[in-house]
Chain A
Amino acid sequence: MGLQREQIVEGLVEILGSDRVITDEKVLKESSLDRYRKYEQVNEIYTQPIPAAVVYVESTQDVKEVLMFANENGINVVPRTGQSAIEGGLETAKENSIVVDGSGMNKVLKIDKYNMQVTVECGVPLQGLDDMLREQGYTTGHSPQSKPLAQLGGLVATRSIGQFSTLYGGIEDMVVGLEAVFPNGEVCRVKNIPRRAAGPDIRHVVIGNEGALCYITEVTIKIFKYQPENNVFLGYTIDDMKNGFDALRAVMVEGFKPSIARLYDAADASLHFDWSGDKNVLIFMAEGPSGITAATAAGIDKLVKAFPGVDSVDPKIIEKWFAGLNWGPEEIAEEKLEILATKNIGITTEVSGCWDCIYEIYDNACKRIMEEVPDMTLMGGHSSHSYINGTNMYFVYYYNIVDCTPEEEINKYHNQINRIICEEVIKYGGSIVHHHGLGKARAHYVWEEYGSSFYILDTLKKAFDPNGIMNMGTLIPIKHNEKHPWEF
């Protein structure tokens, strides 16, 4: 027999004191979901089990004691920092969960300019950290659209990626060391080194664990010289989307390293630009020392212009547009009003695939969604992170919510669209998740995503979280409808 709700709260108050254990009903309800259930969220309808408490931890010791308490009593724990999750990772899927908020652990512990690394606690906001570094001539090189909201612990936990990834890499390329607490109270530190070959890279047990294995309390990431005066922007329209993917591929294969390499289809471009009309849009930015940026821009320009149906765009337009791309609390508040007034909602799903299938994934998924899902008002997407062997596809879609309640919306629309995207990606051998994390929604496709390697994930979960208390339902679903996996 597990602890009752009141006993859980009492136990937490004993560990942290009453000030840091929040049981306010509104806070608890708002903490039961994330932006995956955006329509429920804006309508303030809460369908997920309400947590017993939200607790604010301030040290590794706090985290350790809370996790041990939860582990001994079989209580589900949902770790969080900046709360910018959009794939259900913050949903409290089990009754009487504890939401462990690390946003109070917000100290920058060490800026090591000689070794080019910075060590921070998990609740350090990325925007604040990067602004501070830029003032000193450095940058994290990490700039996701959620930058105004996200904090370092969550970014590492979800294998985040930033808009300059083609040059700096994803968060997994930036993390050099970290500290994490496991459910049994074990505190593990992975030391900060440039590289090592001492067995498996155990950083990757922690990076991307989505709070399902451990709680990240501290991270050390690389820093880079910040030289915005050398930035060069390039913009083009391109008639054919397939040629657009080929142009991106050519840039990567020929060895260029732009910090931004993006391809928008016409529908997605129409959300950002007036001038694109029915054309697709290619965007690049070269960053770094001036000699390199000039050569990179000149090389990419020559390469792209060789493709058919390409026209150049004034680079100033691209530069100015890019400066206003991030999302913060103001945009979210405005979006809420708009959704409530119009019952029109916009959502994204990001996937990846090799060059030989990414166009088919994009094209088939868009066609199927427009045919199979009712009330669509926009269907498109863009590629924003490219690699030598492939790229990502960031599907962007809007739909009107017609004849259904906020509770019904998720199964009528959002899950159906996700299903089609996942089916198409799996059919072509891509990955159903590029950088938002599996969360709880796409976790229902974890077996198809992992194939035979699911054994490794399953074993990790059983080994590090034998009592099943770490963010249950994330990575691996608690309940799964085999016949209709998209209904939950």
Chain B
Amino acid sequence: MKSILGSFKVVPDLDLLSAEDWEPGVDHLVDTSFVKSMLNVFDESALEMMLKLSDLGESLGTSIKLNGVTVGNKLCDNYLKTLYALGFARADRIESDDEILFKPERTVAALKEYIEKTEMPDLIVMGSKSADNASGCVPLFLAEELKIPCITAVTEMQLLEDGKVRVTNLYDGGIQIRDVQGTFMAVIGDVPGTYLRVPTLKERMQRGKKEIIPVLLETENEEKQKLINSHPVIEKREGRLVSSEDLYPFLKERMMKL
């Protein structure tokens, strides 16, 4: 294991929206422009997992290069600088001022081109979905495009002495543990209580001042899908209040239907 690439997304902190803010606006989307951003929680778990693998590698005498990449605008730069401060060798932003919500194929194309232009890592780590677009498609599509195996719902990874990675993931209601060799994609699932560690001010001064130069790609951003509407999914039990007088006719009617 020589290098790991973590792809992450910066999303609005939806917890900061009040009930009245949840109103569809332009393009049927909720306006989140005024709330603070945050690392997508699944990606945050993924990035911390990368750092833990690197720590393990160090204890085994293996140096693992950590790289991070995101697709977005200048808003992402602080998060990239944090990765530098935490010891990442490279932290890139693929420039995108366009709205990429609900367009996973565009993100996949951008990431594929980025990997081809930089280097193919031994492991790609991504969160399973993001708070603002829970399509869950990007890691699966990207693995398919790159023709590498993909393990979903990963909750833990350990580096073994022989260079393999012991991957724990949720599978069909159970837990699956396997030792993996060769390049693969790990899609990080729900790992409660994981947070990205915090660099010190000294680390920020030493390593986190690096200027973020956006990566410009040639990917043809052809629009294949367009959001035309959005509405809340109402989830409630089917039920009907029946008075004691109506109970017998009601049950009889149901029996007849059966």
Query: A-B contact count, CB below 8 Å?
Result: 52
Contacting chain B: which of A174-182, A249-257, A316-324, A415-423? A316-324
Rounded to whole angstroms, the CA-CA distance of A188 and B21 in the bound complex is: 48
B37 touches A274 (CB 8 A): yes
Q: Which residues in window 369-422 of A have CB below 8 A to B?
A: 370, 375-379, 398-400
B197 within 8 A of A: yes
- Determine how close the nearest CB of chain A comes to the CB of B42; give it in whole angstroms: 15
- Find A378's partner among B21, B36, B201 (CB 8 Å cutoff): B201
Q: Which residues in window 316-340 of A have CB below 8 A to B?
A: 316-317, 320-321, 323-324, 337-338, 340
B75 touches A274 (CB 8 A): yes
B184 within 8 A of A: no
Q: Which of the four size classes fits the interface of chain A?
A: 20 to 34
A341 touches B198 (CB 8 A): no
- Determine how close the nearest CB of chain B comes to the CB of A152; give it in whole angstroms: 26
A342 within 8 A of B: yes
> Using Cβ atoms and an 8 Å threshold, which residues of chain A touch B34?
314, 316-317, 320-321
A323 touches B193 (CB 8 A): no
> Using Cβ atoms and an 8 Å threshold, which residues of chain A touch B195?
337-338, 341-342
> Using Cβ atoms and an 8 Å threshold, which residues of chain A touch B198?
342, 344, 377, 398, 400
B193 touches A340 (CB 8 A): yes
Q: Which residues in window 25-53 of B have CB below 8 A to A?
A: 34-37
Q: Residues 55-78 of chain B: 1 if any A CB is under 8 Å from the residue's CB, otherwise 0?
A: 000000000000000000001001
Q: Which of the four size classes fits the interface of chain B?
A: 20 to 34
- Find A324's partner among B18, B193, B201, B202 (CB 8 Å cutoff): B18
- Determine how close the nearest CB of chain B comes to the CB of A337; give it in whole angstroms: 5
Q: Which residues in window 270-287 of A have CB below 8 A to B?
A: 270, 272-274
- Tell which of A274, A317, A400 has the most Cβ of chain B within 10 Å: A274
The binding surface of chain B is classed by DSSP as loop
> Using Cβ atoms and an 8 Å threshold, which residues of chain A touch B193?
337, 340-341
Rounded to whole angstroms, the CA-CA distance of A442 and B196 in the bound complex is: 33
A379 (CB) vs chain B CBs: closest residue: B201
> Using Cβ atoms and an 8 Å threshold, which residues of chain B touch A317?
34
A341 touches B194 (CB 8 A): yes
Rounded to whole angstroms, the CA-CA distance of A398 and B198 in the bound complex is: 9
> Using Cβ atoms and an 8 Å threshold, which residues of chain B touch A399?
200
- Tell which of B16, B34, B78 has the most Cβ of chain A within 10 Å: B34
Q: A274-B75, A341-B195 are in contact. Are A376 and B201 (CB under 8 A)?
A: yes
B121 within 8 A of A: no
> Using Cβ atoms and an 8 Å threshold, which residues of chain A touch B197?
342, 344, 400
> Using Cβ atoms and an 8 Å threshold, which residues of chain B touch A324?
16, 18
B163 within 8 A of A: no
> Using Cβ atoms and an 8 Å threshold, which residues of chain A touch B35?
320-321
Rounded to whole angstroms, the CA-CA distance of A398 and B201 in the bound complex is: 10
Rounded to whole angstroms, the CA-CA distance of A321 and B15 in the bound complex is: 12
Q: A274-B75, A338-B195, A342-B195 are in contact. Are A377 and B36 (CB under 8 A)?
A: no
A339 (CB) vs chain B CBs: closest residue: B195
Q: A270-B78, A274-B36, A340-B193 are in contact. Are A377 and B201 (CB under 8 A)?
A: yes
- Tell which of A270, A323, A324 has the most Cβ of chain B within 10 Å: A324
> Using Cβ atoms and an 8 Å threshold, which residues of chain B touch A273?
36
Q: Residues 201-228 of chain B: 1 if any A CB is under 8 Å from the residue's CB, otherwise 0?
A: 1100000000000000000000000000
Seen from chain A, the residues whose Cβ lies within 8 Å of a Cβ on chain B are 270, 272-274, 314, 316-317, 320-321, 323-324, 337-338, 340-342, 344, 370, 375-379, 398-400
Q: 13 A-B residue contacts at CB 8 Å? A: A274-B37, A314-B34, A316-B34, A321-B34, A321-B35, A321-B36, A337-B195, A340-B193, A341-B195, A376-B202, A377-B199, A379-B201, A400-B200
Beyond contacts A320-B34, A321-B34: 7 other A-B pairs, Cβ-Cβ < 8 A, are A316-B34, A320-B18, A320-B35, A324-B18, A338-B195, A375-B200, A400-B200
Q: A-B pairs with the 6 shortest C-beta distances?
A: A344-B198, A317-B34, A320-B34, A341-B195, A377-B198, A324-B16
